[in-house]
Amino acid sequence: MARQKGIEEWVEAVRAEFPTLSRAVNGRSLAYLDNAASTMKPRRVIDAMQRFYAEDYSNVNRGTHYLSQVATRRFESARESVRRFIGAGESREVIFTGGTTAAINLVAYSWGEAFLGRDDEVLISTMEHHSNIVPWQMLCERKNARLRVAALDEDGALDMAALAERITPRTKMVAVTHVSNVLGVVNPVKEIVRLAHEAGAHVLIDGAQAIPHMPVNVQELDADFYAFSSHKMFGPTGIGVLYGKSSILTQMPPWQGGGDMIGRVSFDGSTWANLPHKFEAGTPNIAGAIGLAEAIDYLEGMDRQRMADWEFRLAEYAIELLGEIEGVRILGPQQNNAGAVSFVLEGVHAHDIGAILDKQGLATRTGHHCAQPLLKHFGIESASRASFAFYNTMEEVERLAEGVRRVVDLFCSPSIFEEITELTNLD
């Protein structure tokens, strides 16, 4: 693949902003290829959270003292940063949660308990993360409703014709991923929203894998709910966002009770706070919100299109090089990939691949990737995954291919067990 000096110099400058990327693992420079699981953090995010804890820490809301007012302003400013970043119409449509999983559970419990009835249907797809399967299963069991599944085509892309057929007058919610965490495939969510709305159904988009790779405007998508996590977009763990249309959120009951989500409490009954606080019971992750806002400021200062183009190129190069290795099978469509490449190697378990790659400083992910139904679609139980961010390099992709070739050589070697034991420190 032809190299462009300008882009590679830009990548090297970006990498210097992420402290962890400069470390060594097992005597080799770290090649961090596990970004779909969680991304690294730029120094400015780390520093912003440290400054808050060291200089401005206090609990938010209702405090009249100076530090509480500072913390509250910073917390609510973070909410406004999220609103701007995703194109929401109002800051009250931004609900802070513990992450994408918590956001989806919030909708399943609150909206689902209020508006899903017996024999109603929730439609998901075969490629969903467990976080966008299990909450709906649990809801349907509680409400005697039906969970229906849209199939994939032979390549592993969402079969839009099959999805359209699955949407019926009984469909009350369509919950689909924007980008598959296993395949990297980008789904046509705007079209899915249109089809669902024509049938009178609501739509929740799992945006965990999309938000770090591409601009998202929830009003343009017309999504009723959009969920994502901070830690997958270069921010801290333990905080995420549920966007919801205010017209829908207003009708939904709280899903947790406690401090700060109430209007008035008495032993005869309680009333609820207005949006967004109705859904934010208890002390929030204040430092997490500040870190998320800093990550958003960082991303907004970047050329998002340049970032996306580079990540697509990295995935293309990985598909090209891995596809040349005998015995490697790449899962899913090999176009329109937003930075995740999953593969299997004939005769070798994914965990063995991951362990051998780790000894070469290559951080990849192995297992079922919280997407067991999707792997079953491909007739497998586990896979290896390399996932990319804009700070990854072509050289790291080449190291990945070299590492997989090393795995092939090891498993074809007469002294396979001795060599694998040495590489993985297994007894």
Q: Which residue, among 341, 314, 315, 317, has the nearest Cα to 330 in the 3D structure?
A: 341
Classify each residue of 27-46 as buried b or exposed e, where b means 16 or more C-beta atoms within 10 Å of its C-beta. Answer: eeebbbbbbbebbbbbebbb
Find the DSSP H helices in 116-176: 134-143, 160-166
Helix (H, G, I), strand (E, B) or coil at 41: coil
Q: Rounded to whole angstroms, how far apart are CA atoms 365 and 377?
A: 19
End-to-end CA distance of the chain: 41
Active site residue 370: yes
Q: Using CB atoms within 10 Å of the CB of residue 118, give its burial: 0 to 12 exposed, 13 to 18 middle, 19+ buried.
A: exposed
Cis preceding-peptide flag for 373 (omega within 30 of 0): no
User: Is the Cβ–Cβ distance between 344 and 187 less than 8 Å?
Assistant: no
Residues 6+ apart with CB under 8 A from 274: 92, 263
Among the listed residues 273, 370, 378, 393, the single catalytic one is 370
Q: Rounded to whole angstroms, how far apart are CA atoms 152 and 288?
A: 36
Q: Which residue, among 181, 232, 218, has the nearest Cα to 338 in the 3D structure?
A: 181
User: Is the Cβ–Cβ distance between 212 and 359 less than 8 Å?
Assistant: no
Residues with active-site annotation: 370
